[in-house]
Structure 1
Amino acid sequence: MNAFEPASAGRRNFLRKSALASGGLVLGFYLNGTTNAAEQVAKPSAAPGAEFRPSAFIRIGRDGIVTLISKQPEIGQGIKTSLPAVIAEELEVSWKDVRIVQGDLDPAYGRQSAGGSTSTPTNYDEFRRLGATARAMLIDAAAQTWKVPAAECFAADSAVHHRPSKRKLGYGQLVDKAATLPVPEAKTVALKDPKDFKLLGKRISGVDNHAVVTGKPLFGIDTKLPGMLYAVYEKSPVFGGKVKRVNLDAIKALPGVKDAFVIEGTDDLRGLLPGVAILADSTWAAFSARKQLQVEWDEGRFGGQSWAGFVAQAKALAKKPGTTQLRKDGDVNAALAGAAKTVEADYTYPFISHASFEPQNCTAWFRDGALELWAPTQNPAAGQDLVAATLGLPKEKITLHITRSGGGFGRRLSADYIVEAAAIAQRVGAPVKLTWSREDDLRHDHFRAGGFHFLRGGTDARGKLIAWHNHFVTFANPVTRDGKTTLQTGSGGSLSGDEFPGRWIDNCHLEQTAIECGVPMGPWRAPGSNVFAWVFHSFIDELAHAAGRDPLEFRLEILGDKAIVSGTGERGVPYDVSRMRRVLLDVADKAGWGKKKLPKGQGQGIAFHFSHRGYIAQVAEVTVGKDGSLKLDRVVVSTDIGAQIVNLSGAENQVEGSIVDGLGTLMFPEINIERGRAVQGNFNDYPLIRISDAPAKIEVHFVKTDYPVTGLGEPAFPPLAPAVCNAIFAATGKRVRQLPLSRTDLRWG
C-alpha cells in the first residue's frame, strides 16, 4: 500500500482480500432512501468467507473481529464513531471487537455527505435494522448448529447464547453457517428496546482519537504517493479575475520547480477559477517559487466592490420596498402607529471565513484516462460531479478516496480545491498534491454571507408584541447556466417567510433585497440560523425591555400555547412549540433565571432557536468590566434532539464545541472587502478564540423526548450569540447591533 492509503481505497479489493484471508460473513445493503435496510441486505453467499455483495457495511471474520464500514465523511463531528456504534448496538457485538474502516465514494452507499446535521437522522433507523438483521442471522446459525429453537437463543457480547444449556458460540464460529442462510424479512427482525441499550447513550471514545493525538497520517494533507509532485495555485486576488501575463519562464528556472502553467478556468465563482499552477519537488519549493510570481490580472467587473460600498447600498435599499415579499400579514404600519411602544434598529454582520485548521488540499493522479483523488471533503459526490463537468471526464472514471478532514464547518461541501488539483494533475503524468496556504484559505473561501436587517417592532399597552417588520438586505452572486445569468443568494443568505417570529405575529412584514456581489459564498455552520438567531432574539430582547417585560415571559407569550405552528418550517419540518417551550422552561430553571439580583457589570441573557431539527435554549451569564473587558462566566444549555443520544461524549462535545465556536464567531472574525478582494489573510488579522476567552463553565442538559433522533453539530450554535449579547445589555445597558463584538465599545461607568 502507499504511505497513505485508506484500507477502503480499493474497497472491493479490501473486502475480497480480507474475507479470503480470515474467512467471514459480509453483510451489505444499498441505502437508497426508499427501502428498509433489513430488506436491502444482500443474499449471503454459500461459500464460506465470501462477501454478500460489493456494497458491504459489515464483515465478521472467523477471528471474531467485526469490521464496519463508515460511509460518512469524518470532519471532527464524531460520525465515524457514532454511526458504527448504532450497528454494533443492534448486532450485540462488544465494542472492543469492532474495527472501523472509512468508506470511499460509492453510489452503493447512498448519500455520503457531512452537512446540515443530517448524518444521524438519515441513517439511524437504517443502521439499526442492518445490525438487527445480522444479529438475527447469527442467532439462526447458532440455533441450527445446536438443533434448538431460535427462541431459546440470544445474542450478547459478540456471541450467541443458549439459555437452557448455557452454551455459547462466538460470532467468529458462526460465520460459515450464517453465510448459507436466507436473509429474514424486515418485518420479522426485532429491534432492541432502547432501555436495553448497552452502548448507545454511553460515553464512547472516538475511534481515531489515539491516531489523531499521536500524529498518524489520517488527514488529506498527510497523503503521500510514490513520485508525487507538490503544487500551489495562484488565483486573482479579485474574485473572478483572469490571468493576462505571467513570468512563467522565470518560475520554471527556479530550484526544485518542475513546471508552471496557466489554467484558463471558468466563470463559476465556486468552481475552477483561472490561475497559475506551479509544480515542484517539495511543498517548500512550490511555495518559495510562488513568491517570485509576477502576474498581471484582468480584474473583471468586481474590482471596485467594497464593504463600505455595500453598507451604503444597503442603507439606500432599505428605504425602498423589498424586491421579494416573503410575508405580509395584517397591517404593520397601522399596528406600529397605534403601538404603546415602538423600537427601530439596524443589525449588521460581515462576511466571515470558515478558517478550518487544515487548509484546503487534494491529491490527484491522472493516468490511463482515469482520475484518482484523495480529499478531505464533506461532500465527495459534489467533488466528483464538479470534476466530471469541468474536465469532461465520465464519473465512472473518477475514484474519490475520503480522508479525515481537519475541520470543515461547511467549507468542504464545496469542491473548488478538488477540481483545481484534478485540472493540474490532468496536465502531469504523476501524482500531484495541491496544498493551499493559509492566505489562500482565508482569501479564497466561500464565505458566510454578510447581511443587513432593518427592523421595526411594536408592543401594545399590555406589553404584547403586535407588530414586526424586517427588511433584510442580503448578497447574491451572478450564476450563468445555459447562457442565462441569474442572481443566486448566498447559502444562509435567504430569509424564509416562516422564520420565527413571523408566523406568530398578526401584523408581520418580511421582505428581502439582494445586492449583486462577486464575493463567493457557501454554507457556514448552521447556515442562516447562525446569524438570524442573533438578529431576531436580540431585537426581541429590545422589545421586551422597551415594554418593561421579563425576556423569558415575553418569549413564552410569543410562542403561545399552540402545539404546532403550521407552515413549511425549517427544512420542511413544522415548528413544534411544545418542544421549544419545554427546553426554554428547562434552561431557565437550570440556570436560575431571574432568581437573584446581579450587580452592575453582570447580567443574564436568554435565547432559543430551532435549527436542523433540534430545539435548543441557552442562558448566558457574563461579567463586563468597566474597561469593556468581557468574561463569559457560564452558559447553560437545554437541548431536545429526540429520543436517543447516540454517544454521550460526542453529544456533549458537539454542544460544548458549538458554544466555544459561537462565542469566538461573535467576538472576532470579519472579512473586509476592498477593491474586490478580501483584506484579511492570516490569523494575525483574522483572530480566533483563545483559551483565555472561552467560557468558564458550560452546563449541558439533554431533554429526552419521543421524537426521531436528530443531529447536533449545528443546532446548539445559533442561540449563543443572542444569549451573550442580551446578557451584555443586562450588565451594561449597551445593545450590540453589529458583528463582530470587537466593534462595540462595552465600557461603562
Structure 2
Amino acid sequence: MADNQSSEKKLSRRKFLVRGGLGTIGVLAVGTYVLRNPIRRAILEKANEMDLAYMGSTDNPMLWFELGKDNVVILHSPKIEMGQGTFTGLAQMAADELEISMSNIKVVHATTATGNIDGMSTGGSTSISGLWQPLRELAAIFREMMKIEAAKKLGVSVDDLSVKDGVVSANSKSLTYAEISEGVTNWTIPEKPILKDISSYKYVGKPVPRVDLDDKVYGAPMFGLDAEMPNMLYGAVVRPSKIGAKFISATTDKAEKMPGVIKIVSEDDFVGVVAESYIEAENAKQAIEVIWETPDNLQQDAIVSMMTVGNGKSTIIQKEGDALEGDDIVQMEFRSPIGAHAQIEPNGVVAFVEESKATIMISTQVIGITRKEVSSRLGWDAEQVNVIPTYLGGGFGRRLHTPHAVQAAVMSQAVGKPVKYIFSREEEFQHDMFRPPTHHILKGRLNEQGLLDGLEHHFVSGDVGNNSALVPNIVPPIVGADIGAIRGGFLQYSAVPNHRSVYWHVTLPFATSWWRSLGLLANTFAIESFVDEMALKAGKDAIEFRLAQVNDDEAGKRLKEVMRTAGERAGYSEEIKDGKAMGFAASVDAGTPCAHVVEVSVEDNKIRVHKVTVVLDPGLAVNPDQIRAQCEGCVIMGMSAVLFEQMKVVDGSLTPTIYGPYEMALMKHAPREIDVVLLQGKDTPGAVGEPPLGPIGAAIANAIRRLTGKRLQSMPLKLT
C-alpha cells in the first residue's frame, strides 16, 4: 500500500488532541515558584490521578497500518508486548473500527525506523487506555480512506457503501481493502474521523484469544534472547561486584590469548570481550584483571538507618487541616525491603554497527530512549539507528534501562560484525535497577464516634522516577517529589478532617528505579495496615470503617463501590472460621480503584493464602479475560513480594544473586482460588497492569492480625 498522504491534509486536529493533554501540568509548572507548595501539591495530585496520554505521532495513519495482498492489516504497535496482552487489546480496538475480523489483523512491534514511537514508552499501565482514542481514530480514518477510493473505483457515492470483514460493497459490487489499494499512490485522508458507536463493536468488551498465543505455545523465536543476525559474535562486559565501585584499570593480556577471543574492547567506562561464542566471551571476561576503587563495605544496617523518615529532603504532597498533636495519637512504623525485578528472561541485545547505520534488536520498553542513547554514543543522528524491539520475557520496569545496547553497539563497531550480549543471572541480580526500600510512619486519632479525626503518612523512599531516562531533570526540582515513589502514597480517606502525606527523599548508594506498581505496593501496605489497626481500635468492621471516611465525589463513589462489592462477594467476616481469617485492603492507582479480600491460615508457622477476591474498576474492559489475567498475575507477584522477596547489602555487595537464595513464591504457594470481579465505573478504559498489585500485602497482614493478634509491620511478612 502506498505511504503517501495528501499534502493538503496534515491532521493537526489529532496532533492537538494527543499533545494537548499536557496543558494543565505545563501551566501549573510555570507557576511553581509563585505559589510553590500549593502548586506542587496540585501537580502531584493531578499526576497521581491521571491516565497518561499517548505521546507520539498520529499525523499519518500509514505509520500505523500496513495492508498486504492477502487483505491482512498489520498494526505496527508503539507499545511493547511483555506478556500483559496489549497486542490483543489493540487488535480488538483496531479491528472494530477497521471493520475487519480478528483473523485479518496482525500486530507487530513498531521499529524506530517506522517513526511510530511513543514518548511515554511502555509502562504505567497505560498501553490500552493511552491508545484508546488515537488508535480508534486512526483506524476509522483508514477505513474511510478505503471507502473514498472504493467509491471512485465502483462509481458510487461514499454514502452508498457498506463495509464488512475488510470488504467494501455497493449493490452487487464489492472490493477488498487489498483490491482497493491497488494502484493508489495519492490517498485522500479525511479531516475528521467518524468513530463507530461502542455498542456496535463486535470485539471490544469481549474475551477473544490472544493474538500471540500460537507463537508462544509453539516456541517461536520472539524474545530478546532469541535474536540473531548473520555472522554474529558474542560479547561480555566486566562488571564490579561491589556497590559504588569505580573502574581504574584492567590487565587484559591473558584474556586476549584465550580461545575464541576476537577483541578486547577497552573504553573509559567499561571493558568488554568479543568472542566467537558466549562461553568463550564469559571465560575471557573472568580472566581480565580489573582494579576497582571501592568505598567502605556497606552493610544492611547502614541502609536501614539511611532509609528512615526524617533523613533527606521532605515534600508535603497532600494536606488538609491541621497536623496531629497530643497524647491521644496512635503511631506505627512499617518497612519494605530492596526488591529485585527477577524477571525470567535476563537482558539481552544484538547490535550491528555498519559504516553509516546501526541495527539494534533488543528487549526494551523504551525504543526511543534506546535509540537516542546508542546514537549519542556513536555520535550519529538518531535516524541512523534502527531499534527493533522484541517480545519481553518479563519487564516490570527492568527494560526501561538499556545501557547494554550502547555497550553492544560499541563492541560491534570495534569488530565490524553483529555482537550479541546477554546478562548472566548473577549480573541481572547484582546490577538490577532495584525497587527501593521504604520506611513509613503513620499517625492517627479517633473521634468520639470512633472515626478518624486525623490521619498522617510520612514515608521515605529512594529514586523511582528521578535519575531515570523517563523523567527529565527539570521535573524533580519543580514538583519536589519523585512521581514514582509517591504512587499509592496519597491518603484516599480524604473525608478525614485533618490529613496529610509527607514524602522524604534519600539518595541510595546503588541504583533504584521503576518496579511494577512503583511505590504503590509499599505505600498501600503501610497505609491500609494502619487504617485496619485503627478500625480494630475503634471496634468497627474493617470495610464499614473505611467506607465512612471516603468522600462522595466521582472517584470516591467508584472506590466505595469496589469496597462494598469485595466485601459482599467474599462474604467478608471478622470471625475466625476453621482456622482461617479474612483480611481486607483497598487502593487507588492511576485512577483505578481496587479491593482485595484474602482468606489466610497459619500452617507450620508459615502464612498460607487460600483465596483472594479481587474487585477492580478499570472502566471499560476491552478484553475482560485479559484484565482478569492481569489481576491474577498481580496477586501472585504481590504475594511473592510481600511474603518472600528481599535483597540485602552484605559486605558492600547486593545479594543474593541467583534464584533459590532469592526466595520467590512457588506454585505450591498459590491460592487455590483467585476470584476476580470487574466493575465499570466509567465508559473509557483505565489503568489495569499495576493497580491490582496494591492491596495484597496489607490484606494478608490484616488477616494475620485477626488470626494471631500480631501486627506484622515489615515486608516480607514473617511470623518469627
Same fold (TM over 0.5): yes
The one-letter code matched in structure 2 to 1:397 is Q
Task: Give the 5 Å matches for 1:66-465.
Answer: 66-106=73-113, 108-111=115-118, 113-162=121-170, 165=171, 168-176=174-182, 182-186=188-192, 189-265=193-269, 275-299=270-294, 301=295, 303-314=296-307, 318=310, 323-327=314-318, 329-334=320-325, 336-337=326-327, 339=328, 342-465=329-452
> Per-residue CA shift, 1:489-535, capped at 9, x if unaligned?
99666437981147443333433433332110111111111211111
Give the superposition deviation at 1:264. Answer: 2.0
**Paired position in structure 1 for 2:668:** 692
Which position in structure 2 is the counterpart of 1:46? none
Question: Counterpart of 1:599?
Answer: 577
Q: Which of 587, 591, 595 does residue 609 from structure 1 map onto? A: 587
Q: Unaligned stretches of 5+ in structure 2?
A: 19-58
- Residues 1:178 and 1:503: Cα distance change in structure 2 (over 3 Å): farther
| 1:465 CA displacement | 0.8
Cα–Cα, structure 1 residues 711 and 579, in superposed 2: closer, same or farther, change >3 Å?
Answer: same
Report matched runs for 1:38-77 at 5 Å: 55-77=62-84
Could you tell me how far apart the structure 2 residues matched to 1:32 and 1:415 are? 34
Contact kept, 8 Å, 1:30 with 1:108, in 2: the verdict is no
Contact 1:590 1:636 in 2 (8 A): yes
Shift of the 137–513 alpha-carbon distance from structure 1 to 2, 3 Å rule, reads closer
Q: What is the Cα deviation at residue 429 of structure 1?
A: 1.6
Alpha-carbon contact 2:232-2:418 (below 8 Å) kept: yes
Q: Distance in 1 between matches of 2:142 and 2:679?
A: 32
Report if the CA contact (8 A) 1:76-1:406 is conserved. yes
- Partners of 2:115 and 2:249 lie apart in 1 by 46
AA aligned to 2:695 is P
Go from structure 1 to structure 2 and tell me whether the alpha carbon gap of 1:332 and 1:79 turns closer, same or farther (over 3 Å shift): same
1:31, distance to aligned residue in structure 2 (A): 10
Q: Deviations over 1:674-713 (max 9, x none)?
A: 2332021000211222111111111111112334312311
Residues 421, 190 of structure 1: alpha-carbon distance in 2 compared, 3 angstrom cutoff: same
SS of structure 2 residue aligned to 1:235: coil
Secondary structure of 2:391's aligned partner: coil
Cα gap change, 1:491 to 1:398, in 2 (>3 Å): farther
Q: Which residue of 2 aligns with 1:525?
A: 516
* Whole-Å separation in 2 of the counterparts to 1:490 and 1:444: 25
Give the drift of 1:445.
0.5
Residue 629 of structure 1, aligned match among 606, 628, 639: 606
SS in structure 1 opposite 2:414?
coil
SS in 2 for 1:587: helix
Q: Is residue 307–residue 673 contact of structure 1 (8 Å, CA) maintained in 2? A: yes
Q: Secondary structure at the match of 2:521?
A: helix
Deviations 1:228-264 (A, max 9, x none): 1101112111233223343411111222222224332
Summarize the Cα distance change of 1:421–1:603 in structure 2 as closer, same or farther, 3 Å threshold: same
Contact 1:239/1:520 (8 A) holds in 2: no
CA spacing shift, 1:290–1:322, aligned 2, 3 Å? closer
Match of 2:45 in 1: none
| 1:600–1:732 contact (8 Å) kept in structure 2 | no
Q: Distance in 1 between matches of 2:13 and 2:526?
A: 39
User: Structure 1 residues 66 and 709 mapped into 2: Cα distance closer, same or farther (>3 Å)?
Assistant: same
| Secondary structure of residue in 2 paired with 1:68 | strand
Residue 323 of structure 1: how far off its partner (Å): 4.1
After TM superposition, the structure 1 = structure 2 runs for residues 1-20 of structure 1, keeping only pairs within 5 Å, are none
2:15 counterpart of 1:34? yes
- Show the counterpart of 1:675: 651
Aligned to 1:701: 677
Question: d(CA) in 1 for partners of 2:163 and 2:381?
Answer: 46
| Corresponding residue of 2:502 | 511
- Size of the aligned set, in residue pairs, is 672
Question: d(CA) in 1 for partners of 2:261 and 2:81?
Answer: 34
Question: Cα deviation per residue 1:264-316 (whole Å; 9 max; x = unaligned)?
Answer: 22xxxxxxxxx3312211112122333334333111x4x4333211223445x
Secondary structure, counterpart of 2:89 in structure 1: helix
**Gap change, CA 1:508 and 1:62, over 3 Å in 2:** closer
Letter in 1 for 2:302: G
Aligned residue number for residue 560 of structure 2: 581
Kept after mapping to 1: 8 A contact 2:250/2:291: yes
**Alignment match of 2:598 (pick from 620, 624, 647):** 620
Deviation at 1:459, TM superposition (A): 1.1
Match of 1:719 in 2: 695
1:61·1:175 contact (CA, 8 Å) conserved in 2? Answer: no
Deviations 1:321-376 (Å, cap 9, x if unpaired)? 97444455444343x43x4xx43221011111111111011111122143221111
Distance in 1 between residues matched to 2:568 and 2:434, nearest whole Å: 38
CA distance in 2, matches of 1:322, 1:160: 63
Note if contact 2:484-2:514 (Cα within 8 Å) is conserved in structure 1. no
Closer, same or farther in 2 for the Cα pair 1:179/1:585, shift >3 Å?
farther
Conservation of the 8 A alpha-carbon contact between 2:489 and 2:520: no
CA distance in 1, matches of 2:626, 2:321: 45
Question: Does the aligned pair in 1 maintain the 2:233–2:274 contact within 8 Å?
Answer: yes
Cα gap change, 1:636/1:456 in structure 2, threshold over 3 Å: closer, same or farther? same
Q: 1:512 and 1:103, CA in 2 relative to 1: closer, same or farther beyond 3 A?
A: closer
Please list, as runs of the form range in 1=range in 2, the aligned pairs for 1:658-669 lying within 5 A after superposition: 658-669=634-645
Aligned partner of 2:615 in structure 1 is: 638
Distance verdict in 2 for CA 1:704–1:54, change over 3 Å: closer
Structure 1 CA distance for aligned equivalents of residues 556 and 15 of structure 2: 30
8 Å CA contact 1:115, 1:410 repeated in 2: yes
**C-alpha separation between the residues in 2 aligned to 1:628 and 1:364?**
51
| Secondary structure in 1 matching 2:547 | helix
With structure 1 as the length reference, what TM-score do the two structures score?
Answer: 0.83
How far apart are residue 398 of structure 1 and its match? 1.9
Moved more, 585-594 or 428-437: 585-594
Instruction: Give the Å deviation of 1:183.
Output: 2.4
* Stretch of structure 1 that moved more, 630-639 or 375-384: 630-639
Amino acid at match of 1:248: T
Secondary structure of the structure 1 residue equivalent to 2:462: strand
Q: Distance in 2 between matches of 1:734 and 1:699?
A: 27
Contact persistence 2:324–2:444 (CA under 8 A)? no
Aligned amino acid, residue 571 of structure 2: G
Aligned residue for 2:535? 544
Quick one: structure 1 residues 30 and 730, their matched pair in 2 at CA, closer, same or farther if it must change by over 3 Å? farther
1:500 maps to 2:491: yes
Check 1:510–1:93 CA distance in 2 against 1; reply closer, same or farther (3 A cut).
Answer: closer
Q: In the aligned structure 2, how far is the partner of 1:578 from the partner of 1:122? A: 24
Whether the 8 Å contact between 1:446 and 1:522 is mirrored in structure 2 is: yes
